[in-house]
Amino acid sequence: MDPGISAEGTKGASVHVREMMAAFRELDHVVDLFSPRSGALLSPIGGKTAADREEKQLSANRELSDELERKGPYDLVYERHSLFAHAGMEFAKAHGIPGVLEINSPLIDEQSRHRTLVNSFAAKESAARSFDAASKILLVSSGLISYMLEHCANPNFQVCPNGISPERFPENLRPTRPDTRFTVGFLGTLKPWHGIEILLEAFLAARRDEPNIRLLVIGDGPMANLLEDVDGVEMTGAVDPMDVPGLLASMNAGLAPYPKQEPFYFSPLKIVEYMAAGLPVIASRIGDIPMVIADNVDGILVDPGDRQALTDSILHLMHDQELCSRMGGNARRKVMSEFTWKTVAERALNVEVPA
């Protein structure tokens, strides 16, 4: 129900929506998509002011409830948590079917801090209604537990990190941007909390020691100008998700240099996609990332914000191609067996309606 997320889009949230639908279908379930942007289209949510948009988001609950009634019956409702949305979980509860709510971020806190939240009372009330009505809540990271408990007392939750679709990452992927230089890469939206500044600083420091190195950046965002026209940096801009595997295959290692931040609630899609492409990952030791990456086994963990450690790790992998290849193989085997969207979908379906 988030008006900013299209199931046809290129950002991680859009990929997440598509992959979950595909995983349910792979398990032989029929899926109907309800969204103001995609699928069984609801009325678009616009508005000239923040207050107007919030009112339209709240009113969309009635339309969703009516459409679910009209197009049902259903056996389960699965919803991505969004601001001012509660009709999906309340519909499931009212009809005695499981309602599974997926929480990806502390939306109320994010909206207040980074954008504009006019009616915080209504946002909190809506979140509480949705959380309390859910049969099960899936959190993409343990960093979201406190946010969930702040708004409800629903104890039925499970931490379930993001996954990958093995079909998108077949063995022996062909690189679509091949290069003879050692290539480190970044995939994602170019925003401050992804560590873009430290990414550039570490790359430039490594390049001073080893000029034969390239930084391949897949994505776009407000900090793109920081990377433009920098020697050794190649930028693709936003790309279709189907083009991502070939671009990752053009890298030797993937980077996720998150700065210090509390709480850290991300389950970075980029990390599991790097690993699926057979890349070792150099990532910050923060949040649940150490639960995905085993240090010096399938990647290298560095302290958040430690530019020197990031630089040293890049050079270490560049100088030890055998280690780089071994870590990448370990990473791929791990995600293919433990971190798939099918696994996430199976956990979502393993739910009962509370008595």
Residue range 166-219, pLDDT digits in tens: 999 999 899 999 999 999 999 999 988 899 999 999 999 999 999 999 999 999
Query: Is there a shared CATH topology between the 12-163+341-349 domain and the 167-338 domain?
Result: yes
Task: Enumerate the domain spans of the chain.
Answer: 12-163+341-349, 167-338
> pLDDT over 90 for what percent of the chain?
84
pLDDT at 129 over 90: yes
pLDDT at 128 over 90: yes
How far, in Å, are 150, 295, 322 from residue 299 at the CA level?
34, 6, 13
Average pLDDT, the chain: 94
Residue bearing tokens 């971190």: 339
Q: pLDDT class for 2, splitting at 50, 70, 90? A: very high
Q: What is the mean pLDDT of residues 279-300?
A: 96
pTM to 2 decimals? 0.88
Q: pLDDT class for 355, splitting at 50, 70, 90? A: low
User: For residue 73, is the peptide bond before it cis, meaning its omega torsion is within 30 degrees of 0?
Assistant: yes
Residue range 208-251, pLDDT digits in tens: 999 999 999 999 999 999 999 999 999 999 999 899 999 999 99
**Is the CATH number 3.40.50.2000 carried by domain 12-163+341-349?**
yes
Q: Selecting from 3.40.50.2000, 2.30.42.10, 3.40.50.300, 3.10.510.20, what CATH number does the domain 167-338 have?
A: 3.40.50.2000
Q: CA–CA separation, 243 vs 233, rounded Å?
A: 19
Q: CA–CA separation, 278 vs 4, rounded Å?
A: 32
Residue 98 and residue 135 in contact, taking contact as beta carbons nearer than 8 Å: yes
Provide the pLDDT for residue 53.
Answer: 93
